Amino acid sequence: MQITEHVHALKIPFKIKGIACAMDRFVYVYLIYGKKIYLIDSGVSTSPALIFDYIRRSERDPADIASIFLTHSHVDHMGGAAFIKKETGCKVIAHEDEKLWIEDIEEQFRSRPIPGFRSLVGKSVEVDVVIKSDQTIVLEENLNLEAIHTPGHTQGSLSYYLKEDKVLCVGDLMPEPKDIIVFQDFNDSVKSLQRLKEKKGVERLLSSWREPEDDDVPQNLLDAGLQYLDQIYETVVKVSGGSSEIEAMELCRRVVEELDLPLIARHIIVARTLTKILKLQKK
């Protein structure tokens, strides 16, 4: 689906299998069409076929893919990168804090064994260009992409702003209601959303988990994200009864119930995130 002059959105459906349940999910990959093609994220291991097919249907050549700009290291964003790089010789770009998990998926699995991990990722992939702080990348004449460091969901999460089209891609930074809650740092998530709110001129905001709508107003989406973070915080405080002693999985079970999240969110990774939020109370 074409969003603006240069930006296209491609929805990648996939399934994750938990121990007791499976869940249909999707993730968005964004394509920037210039003389070359630039991807923002590469989706899961099954994405390359869908991406190549989309490119061919729009009468372009997958061999034109020049680079993949990763928002972060999670397997549903980098799972297809190794295959695309092998087929096209494109460059992979990511923040330095994400490099380890992108280049060593076994290390990522040890630290973050999400349900269905193995089916979501192909292989580890080498990062060719490391981003250390905010910078503007000239993709080609009249196509400038700003990489903005927006930690929170992960330490090295990047948002990308295509200046010419006034489009901002935020990856997983925005928490989605009724979805799995994962942030590395709650306060950083708040700060990053607030920072993006101050950015002038943004006309479209694209997230990995949200269907792009023509009438989306970026400021409203960012406000809704901030409000939902507030709601998560308040819920953690409420269901814990103000006690920091509650067991992590019990806290998770109660929050999943209270916020009406999918059952697959009853997971140790979500529990860890919620426990970190609980600890913030003391500060």
> Is the Cβ of residue 37 or residue 82 nearer to Zn ion in the bound state?
82
> Is the Cβ of residue 97 or residue 172 nearer to Zn ion in the bound state?
172
d(CA 234, CA 278): 10
Distances (CA, A) of 281 to 15, 193, 248, 250: 35, 21, 15, 18
> Is the Cβ of residue 172 or residue 188 nearer to Zn ion in the bound state?
172
Supply the minimum distance, in Å, between the C-beta of residue 207 and Zn ion.
11
d(CA 212, CA 259): 24
Supply the minimum distance, in Å, between the C-beta of residue 56 and Zn ion.
28
Are 209 and 172 a contacting pair, CB within 8 Å? yes
Supply the minimum distance, in Å, between the C-beta of residue 29 and Zn ion.
14
- 282: how many CB neighbours lie within 10 A of its CB? 6
The CB-nearest residue to Zn ion is: 74
Q: Supply the DSSP symbol for 265.
A: G
- As beta bridge partners, residue 68 has 39, 92
Supply the minimum distance, in Å, between the C-beta of residue 74 and Zn ion.
3
> Is the Cβ of residue 74 or residue 254 nearer to Zn ion in the bound state?
74
d(CA 198, CA 219): 9
Q: Supply the DSSP symbol for 29.
A: E
Q: Supply the DSSP symbol for 59.
A: T
Q: Which residues bind Zn ion (CB under 5 A)?
A: 74, 172
Supply the minimum distance, in Å, between the C-beta of residue 214 and Zn ion.
26
Distances (CA, A) of 128 to 74, 88, 158, 180: 17, 14, 16, 31
> Is the Cβ of residue 34 or residue 177 nearer to Zn ion in the bound state?
177
Supply the minimum distance, in Å, between the C-beta of residue 78 and Zn ion.
10
The token duo for 116 is 């269905």
> Is the Cβ of residue 98 or residue 172 nearer to Zn ion in the bound state?
172
